[in-house]
Every structure is written in structure tokens, then in C-alpha cells.
Chains A and B, each alone.
Chain A
Amino acid sequence: MAEIVLDKVTKKYGDGFEAVKEADFTIRDGEFFILVGPSGCGKSTLLNMIVGLEDITSGELRVGGKVVNDVDPKDRNMAMVFQSYAIYPHLTVRENMEFPLKLRRMDKAEIDRRVDEAARILELTEHLDRKPGNLSGGQRQRVAMGRAVVREPSAFLMDEPLSNLDAKLRVQMRTAISRIQQRLGTTTVYVTHDQVEAMTLGDRVAVLRRGEVQQVGTPRELYNTPRNLFVAGFIGSPAMNLLPGELDGRNLRLPMVELELPEDVAERLDGRPGRVIAGIRPEDFEDATLVEDRSGGATFTTKVDVLEWLGSELYAHFAVEQGAGELADLAEDLETVELGGDEGAQVVARLDVRSDAREGRDAELWVNARAIHLFDPDDGRALVRHDESIDLRHGDEARSPREVAGAGG
């Protein structure tokens, strides 16, 4: 069991590329911690530094209070699950799981006990004497998990362990991993580029982008109070709608509607009036006819281009006009976020399934002004200061200043 503290950890590769820049956060003892971000953002690099496979260029890594920068990976007592599984192909499943224990010269009875127990949990008992070459992808994945579990390590490190599985198996293994982690209570650092995986598995999540930590927080915090545009666009599916806006006092002019921000939101706005980017989550729209109290928002009429009915959910897509290319730079900057083409932005609204909106017809929609996120168009920073008052709304634990360091970059 161990608390892992990253203190301004930086990685510069031999070719001068800075893959991780001053990562500064704490992974608490027993926590399921996620590193998430687009491909190439430095997740694997960060994980490899924690486990000791990559040197730390500068900064300090402390595990259980001790600085481990120069400790050999074999002495860190961490177990790693690789994306490629990295099962030893010339050894049977049992020998694979025994390998780390034999290296520690554990006695045979204890080895057998642990391997049999792990095999039982992972449903590998009848495959123990087979070679990995003959196993299915899911089984191999479980062997890799088993090899980590038998060691009873101080931390599990997993680098996209599920990305080679098909969608259905992935969901199954996701719950399996979550169950095993809860049962063992071992500190776990889990790398993924899939924000759904991050949100469903993680106690807390660190969002990375181009080697910089954007925000650290619980999935709720990231969803409700993104520190910047990148996090706002990355977390959530369908993604948050991002629209150009014009702020004048409490008045916010959006392409499709003009609305008044609630007093308390406007108060906490720490920016000058002028151009802003407004972020609205799909669920913060509603069919106006189904809204009883329209006071906290604004109503507008728009033509519904596409209507997607998923049984329990209803998504209405509509277009809004915007200055051509206005958000193009930003779109490029955000990598993952679609901000629409020349014709204007496509906005997705999630409506109550009782709505009688029709494809190709006008519908009256209501947008919740209280839930609008505002961002600085120049650096993408969130303009509304997200202090405790918002988090409390969702009953999340308060964050320490360290965990949010690095946000807003």
C-alpha cells in the first residue's frame, strides 16, 4: 500500500522532446487513479517513470514517503499490466504467474496458494497448464492481470490494458478490474485514452495534454467544473457544445439566443466583458414545452436537422450560424473537439424522450443559463472561478491546491 507523490516530475527524452512537463499531483493510498488524454500526450511516459522503466529528468517521485527516483524497477514492488500484455510466451500460464514470486524465492506452498487463488478469481484455473499462444485475447489479458495480482504489490500500474479487446469484452473486463481493485484495495494507476473508461473506473482522474496536466479531480469535478476548454471538450459524451459568445455585463449573446447569466454566476466571473467561448452540455438544453420554470434560462426556436432516439435518450442536432473560421484556430488547438465547419456549428441537445420535436421542423428549446461554462477564447481558461460552492452542489470532496496545479495551461 502506498501513496505516490509526483513533485514537478519532468521527462525530457534524448532527442530533446519534453514528454511530461512538471507533473505535480498525489495519488492517494488505495486510490484508483486514471491518467487520461489523447494519443501521444505522455501517459505511458508518466507511468513508466512511476514504475521505473524511464528515468526522471527532473523532479521527485515519492512512494510511501520515500524518494524512489533512482530505485531500480525490480525493487519498487509495483506490478504492471502492459497494453501488449507482455506474457512470457515460452512459459505456461502457471509459470507466468509464478515468475515474479520465484524471483523473490518465495516458498513453493505460498506460491501455489497465491497462484491458485488468483487463477480462481480470474477464472483461469482450467488454463493454468496451457501456453499463452493458445489463449484468447481476454484470457491473455487475465493472465497479465493474474501475474500482477499474485505479487500483492504496493501499486498496480496499467497501461491501456483493455485496448486490445473487443467492445463487449472491454466492458466486462472493466467491471472485473474495478471489482478486483476494490477487493484488494491496492493503489492503482490506470492509463487510458478513453474518457468513458476514465469516468467509470476512476476515483480520481488526471487529464493530460501534450505532456501537461490539465486538471486533476474526481470524474464529477472534471465533468461539472472543467478548468479549461480542453478538459471541457475531452470529458463527456456527446461532447460539450462550444459556441462563440459575446459577454456584456450579465448579458451573454450566443449565435442562437441571448440570455442573462444568473447573479451568482456573473459574480464569480473573473474576466472582462467581450468575446468568450460558451460551453453547453447537451443535457443543459430541454424541449421548452416540457420546462415548467423557464426563469433560469432562455428560450429559442430552431430547426431540428437530425433527431436521434435511443429509447431512453433523445438527441436533437441543430445548426447555429457563426462567423466563418471564428473557432477554427481553437478547433485545431483542441485536437479532440469538433467545433463545426464553415456552415456553422452543429449543436447537440439532449431532450426529454416525451418531447414531440420532429426532424426538419422547428422546435422551441430552452437552455439552462446556470449550467453554461464560459472560457477565455485566447487561452481556453475557464472564466467562472470554480470554487467549492459549485463542487458542493454535487457533494464532492474539496480539492487541495496541489491537485489542481497545472490546470489552465
Chain B
Amino acid sequence: MDHKRAPLNRFLWVLGTIVVVLYALVPVAWLVSLSLKPADELSNGKFLPRSPTLDNYTGAKGVFNDPQFPSALRNSVGIALIATVLAVTLAMFAAYAIVRLDFPGKQFVLGGALAIAMFPPVSIIGPLFNMWRSLRLFDTWPGLIIPYMTFTLPLAIWTLSAFFREIPWDLDKAARVDGATPFQAFRRIIAPLAAPGVFTSAILVFIFAWNDFLFATSLTSTNRARTVPAAIAFFTGSSQFDFPAGQIAAGSVVVTIPIILMVLVFQRRIVAGLTSGAVKG
């Protein structure tokens, strides 16, 4: 960096960072604060709750005692995890083939994947609704897993092939010459190097599935498969005049936590120098 301009530069950097962080975090903080407020404080317009309480979480009307929230949470976790595992596994095979092998139609696969990613999901909801009903997939886990997998595959294939392209494949050959079977070479050399890429795309896929609202509301009708984002929308107050803002906030906080945890846990692995030092440099 140019040293003469460093102070100004730093100032602008810090300012920019603060703006971005505030912009991103204030709504989240507001949500947390809302979820901690007792019912009578909800609309007092204060940022900090005067007498914070966990009523909205564990109280009689709290989310965890809501008839549908716990099962929604279970559905969310299960569906998102299964969709992630399936999408990433398939994408790994696809990306490996795209990076390592020469086959006709390679560009077509990549282009097609991109086209699917661009496709607005809302345009297939109607037909899907009817199809799922006749296929008895409506309101089931597979009924959500399949569209999640389909819509996240392109993303996963693209991120994974970008990562795989960075892996020095000479290492694979080196391991083979060193006496490894193809499987040993994969497990001991390639897999550790590919892990950050796999985790990154897994997180992206998981977040997509976890956050989805569109499919979740349209393709479910009961607690059998309804996920948290849809369930929150079905929260009702004790009367029709009672808007359960506190519980909704609490529910939102609960769905946000797993995502934040996941990113925090894996960011080390994602950021960890992918292949530094493998080849010349």
C-alpha cells in the first residue's frame, strides 16, 4: 500500500466497514431485541428491552411450546441436511468429470447448469403443485428435497468445479507413482485438498434449503413436512387482534442460529490456504 495515502485510505476502509456491518447487523440485532421483549413492550419503539425475558422462547406461548414449531424445526434440519448431502455428492461427481475428463458436451453441461440456476423457481410452482399431488409427493420430505437439490445443483457444480480446477492434479499422479491405489490417492491427498471447496458449497446449498420459503409454503400443508420459514408464517396469536411479533422474532432467531454456527465452525476450513505451496510459487 502507498504509505503517504495510508491514513486516508485506512479511514475510508474503516468507515466503509462500519457502514456495511451496521447495514447488515442492525436488523438482526433488532430481531434479537424484539424476541427478548415481553408482550407489553413490543411496540414501545425502544431498541433495548427494559425487562428482557425468554417468554417468547420457552414461555407458555413461546415458540418451543408452540404445537408446530418443534416439528417444523425437525423438518427444516432433516430436509436441508439431506438435500445438501445429495446435491453436494452429485455435484462432486459432476465437477470432477468436468475438470478432469474431456467429454463431448462438457460446455453444454456447464451452460445448462447455469441456465437452471437462472430459472425463476416461482414459474414452476403451479405445475409442481399438481404433479406432486398426483405423485403423492405433496407435503412429504422428498417433495421438498427434490426441488432443493435441483435448484442448488448448478450452484454446487459451479463452485466445486472452480475449486477442483485449483487442485494441482499432478499430486494425484505423484501419489499413484508413490505407490497409492487410486482410492488411497483420493483419500489421502485429493480429499483433504478438496475439503474446503466441498464445505463451501455445502454451506451454500444448506443455506438455500434452510432459507427457502417459496417451495416450503406451496408444497406443504401440515406438520409432516412444513419447515420453519413456512411455520413462522402460520404463527397465530391468541386472538385475531393479537399479532405474535415476539414469537415470530424468537422463531427467526432460532432459525438464524444454525446458519451462523455453521459458518463460524467452517470458516476456518473454507479460508484455510487451499493449496499453498503445492506447486512452484
Contacts and interface: CB of A to CB of B under 8 A. Distances in A.
A89 B276 CA distance: 6
Interface residues of B, number: 26
Interface in B59-97: none
Nearest to A144: B174
A225 B276 CA distance: 47
B277 A82 contact: no
B173 interface: yes
Interface in B162-184: 168, 170-171, 173-181, 184
A82 B173 contact: yes
Interface stretch (A131-139, A298-306, A367-375): A131-139
Contacts of A289: none
Contact of A134 (B168, B170, B277, B279): B277
Contacts of A14: 102
A76 to B, nearest CB: 8
A243 to B, nearest CB: 41
Interface string A51-94: 11100000000000000000011101011101011111110000
B193 interface: yes
Interface stretch (A97-105, A323-331, A343-351, A400-408): A97-105
A80 B277 contact: no
- Chain A binding surface SS class: loop
B177 A84 contact: no
Contacts of A103: 178-180, 184
Given A14-B102, A89-B193, A100-B178, A140 B173 contact: no
B171 A88 contact: yes
A86 B171 contact: yes
A393 B195 CA distance: 62
A163 B273 CA distance: 25
Contacts of A87: 277-278
B277 A133 contact: yes
B177 A74 contact: yes
A147 interface: yes
Interface in A94-137: 99-100, 103-104, 131-135, 137
A14 B102 CA distance: 9
Given A82-B174, A90-B192, A74 B180 contact: yes
A88 B181 CA distance: 16
Given A51-B177, A73-B177, A103-B179, A88 B278 contact: yes
A164 interface: yes
Contacts of B181: 74
Contacts of B281: 137
Nearest to B193: A90
A86 B167 CA distance: 11
Contacts of B180: 74, 103
Given A132-B277, A133-B277, A86 B174 contact: yes
B178 A147 contact: yes
A84 B273 contact: no
Given A85-B279, A131-B277, A132-B278, 20 more contacts: A51-B177, A52-B176, A53-B173, A73-B176, A73-B177, A74-B177, A74-B180, A79-B177, A79-B178, A82-B174, A84-B280, A86-B170, A88-B175, A89-B171, A90-B192, A99-B178, A100-B178, A100-B179, A103-B184, A133-B277
Task: Sort A-B residue pairs by CB-CB distance and give the 9 closest, nearest first.
Answer: A133-B277, A86-B174, A100-B178, A133-B276, A89-B278, A86-B170, A132-B277, A84-B279, A164-B280
Interface of A: 14, 51-53, 72-74, 76, 78-80, 82, 84-90, 99-100, 103-104, 131-135, 137, 140, 147, 151, 164
Interface of B: 102, 168, 170-171, 173-181, 184, 188-189, 192-193, 273, 275-281
22 contacts: A14-B102, A53-B173, A74-B176, A74-B180, A79-B177, A79-B178, A80-B173, A82-B174, A84-B168, A86-B168, A86-B171, A86-B279, A88-B174, A89-B193, A90-B192, A99-B178, A100-B179, A103-B179, A103-B184, A131-B277, A132-B277, A133-B276
